[in-house]
């Protein structure tokens, strides 16, 4: 159960990192179509992965920019990322 959650989060982490790198590359290469195509592809996949994660484990991002929550409010749940999980 914990392994499944961790595996999904690790996949999100990898795809989001690729998107961060592409975002920075595009900031200095705004006309690069290939980089842009890859960024858009990752953005789509990330949205799907995060939807799946949040459906099972609650919101991954705050202030309503992710999913809703079950009761009691899931956002506060431990562990927070600075504690080993």
Partner 1 sequence: MWLYEKKLEYPVRIKNPDPRMASCVISQYGGPDGELSASLRYLNQRYHMPIPEASAMLNDIGTEELAHFEMVGSMVHQLMKDAPADEFKDSGLGPWYADHERSNWPATGTGVPFTAAYFASKGDPIADLTEDLAAEQKARATYENLLDMADDPDVIDPLRWLREREIVHYQRFGEILNKLYEEQDRKKYY
Partner 2 sequence: MAYEDYQEQPEGQDSVQTRFPAQPNCQLARAYVLDQPYARVLSPEEALHQGTLFEDLVMPYMMRCQEGLQ
Indicate whether 6 belongs to the interface with partner 2 (CB under 8 A).
no
CB of 74 to partner 1, least distance (A): 10
80 binds, among partner 2, partner 1, none (CB under 5 to 8 A by kind): partner 1
- 77 is written with which tokens? 């749940």
**Distances 74 to 1, 53, 55, 65, 80 between C-alpha atoms, Å:** 17, 13, 11, 14, 12
Indicate whether 35 belongs to the interface with partner 2 (CB under 8 A).
yes
Residue 56 near residue 5 (C-beta atoms within 8 A): yes
Q: Which of residues 40-69 bind partner 1 (CB under 8 A)?
A: 59-63, 65
């Amino acid at each position: 159960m914990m392994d499944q959650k961790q595996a999904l989060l690790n996949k999100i982490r990898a795809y989001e990192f690729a998107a961060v790198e592409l975002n920075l590359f595009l900031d200095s290469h705004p006309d690069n179509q290939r980089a842009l195509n890859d960024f858009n592809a990752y953005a789509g996949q990330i949205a799907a992965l995060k939807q799946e994660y949040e459906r099972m484990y609650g919101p991954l991002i705050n202030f309503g920019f992710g999913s809703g929550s079950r009761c009691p409010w899931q956002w506060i749940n431990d562990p927070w990322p600075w504690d080993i999980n």
